[in-house]
């Protein structure tokens, strides 16, 4: 079997406070294969960006990885010291953020920023360095790359700046690219171009891509598989076609039902009542049960684990035998450290 580029096992991220230990990511596990795009979707506060930040070792103190393991091509990286992790970021793991202006220095020309990144992670110098940078700009669809090489970020449109950020992420030919909301600030036509570009680059470079977004439309177009997150946990993961066409978890059904359909009638869109729970008030049992239209006896008391069902995995008592009251104790919230 092909070895995963990224393997996350039972990841747990905590933010200690004076009153309690807030759990932002709770027992998250997934793999991404070479050339595969895994979409991670959910509401704001679900834990998507924290997951990506934990993978690249950028959790701000006092936040910390409190449990689990992260493997890059079979080698564990979550226990590396900061200097070793810096050598991996940019070279073996590329990052694409939501706002390209936060990734580009407005005082330096695009070419200078690209060549600096390439020189940091390779032995190229001089003319070869410039040629490599121009080739990257051409690969991500920048017109007249030799001319635009000397432009500043403000001379590019939003979509073109995002293409430059993609070029920066690919400068060292990384094994993994983490794209955190890469199309949010772009109009629909440019979104489609960036999505197609990312898919093409994944195939060409055989890079694994973790695509973090709140937009199920982007996931449906770009991803091979999708992981649906809620309150810091994955509630459903599977092939994107199956999850989109036949969602299993009630939360996933709510997400899909809230998307307007051009070929549909005038039916009302599905509304998910309530809102994502705060980290200080995650309910026991299934965290979605206060908002779930199909809640029943075990949901408020017992937390379902992610288990196989059909072609996907789902954490829901609708698809697995519910525990008896005697066999398990009710789930409890984390208390003070």
pLDDT band, very low/low/confident/very high, at 48 (cuts 50, 70, 90): very high
Classify residue 170: in a domain, yes or no: no
| Long-range pairs of 294-302 with CB within 8 A, sequence gap ≥ 24 | 294/250, 294/318, 297/322, 298/322, 298/323, 301/325, 301/330, 301/331, 302/328, 302/330, 302/331
According to DSSP, residue 179 is labeled: E
pLDDT tens digits along 174-207? 999 999 988 877 788 788 888 888 888 788 888 9
Asked whether residue 328 carries a pLDDT value surpassing 50, the answer given is: no
Classify residue 184: in a domain, yes or no: no
Classify residue 50: in a domain, yes or no: yes
Residues of the domain holding 315: 1-78+210-259+270-337
Classify residue 177: in a domain, yes or no: no
Classify residue 10: in a domain, yes or no: yes
Classify residue 84: in a domain, yes or no: no
The two structure tokens encoding residue 250 = 């009630």
Classify residue 25: in a domain, yes or no: yes
Asked whether residue 64 carries a pLDDT value surpassing 90, the answer given is: yes
The two structure tokens encoding residue 187 = 């109009």
For the chain, give the mean pLDDT.
Answer: 89
pTM for this model (two decimals): 0.89
pLDDT tens digits along 267-324? 677 788 889 999 999 999 999 999 999 999 999 999 999 999 999 999 999 998 877 6
Higher pLDDT, 100 or 263: 100
Classify residue 154: in a domain, yes or no: no
pLDDT tens digits along 106-134? 999 999 999 999 998 888 899 999 999 99
pLDDT band, very low/low/confident/very high, at 1 (cuts 50, 70, 90): low
CATH number of the domain enclosing 37: 3.40.50.300
| pLDDT > 90 fraction of the chain, expressed in percent and rounded | 63
Domain count, the chain: 1
pLDDT band, very low/low/confident/very high, at 262 (cuts 50, 70, 90): low
| pLDDT > 70 fraction of the chain, expressed in percent and rounded | 93
């Amino acid at each position: 079997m092909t070895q995963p580029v990224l393997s996350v096992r039972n990841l747990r991220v905590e933010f200690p406070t004076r009153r309690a230990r807030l759990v932002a990511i709770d027992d998250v596990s997934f793999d991404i294969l070479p050339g595969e795009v895994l979409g991670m979707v959910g509401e704001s506060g679900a834990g998507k960006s924290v997951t990506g930040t934990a993978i690249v070792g950028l959790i701000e103190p006092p936040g910390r990885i409190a449990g689990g393991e992260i493997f890059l091509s079979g080698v564990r990286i979550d226990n590396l010291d900061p200097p070793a992790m810096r050598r991996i970021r940019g070279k073996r793991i590329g990052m694409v953020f939501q706002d390209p202006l936060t990734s580009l220095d407005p005082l330096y020309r695009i070419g200078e920023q690209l060549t600096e990144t390439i020189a940091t992670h390779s032995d190229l110098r001089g003319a070869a360095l410039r040629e490599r940078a121009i080739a990257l700009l051409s690969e991500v669809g920048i017109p007249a790359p030799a001319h635009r090489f000397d432009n500043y970020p403000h001379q590019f449109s939003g979509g073109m700046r995002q293409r430059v950020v993609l070029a920066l992420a690919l400068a060292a030919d990384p094994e993994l690219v983490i794209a955190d909301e890469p199309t949010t600030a772009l109009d629909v036509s440019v979104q489609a171009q960036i999505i197609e570009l990312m898919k093409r680059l994944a195939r060409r470079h055989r890079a694994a891509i973790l695509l973090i977004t709140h937009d199920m439309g982007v996931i449906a177009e770009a991803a091979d598989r999708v992981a649906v997150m809620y309150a810091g946990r994955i509630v459903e993961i599977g092939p994107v076609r199956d999850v989109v066409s036949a969602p299993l978890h009630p939360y996933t059904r709510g997400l899909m039902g809230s998307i307007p359909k051009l070929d549909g009638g005038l039916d009302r869109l599905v509304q998910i009542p309530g809102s994502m729970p705060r980290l200080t008030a995650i309910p026991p049992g299934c965290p979605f049960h206060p908002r779930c239209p199909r809640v029943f006896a075990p949901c408020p008391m017992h937390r379902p684990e992610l288990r196989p069902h059909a072609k996907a995995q789902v954490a829901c008592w609708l698809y697995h035998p519910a525990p008896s009251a005697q066999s398990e104790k009710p789930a409890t919230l984390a208390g003070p450290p």
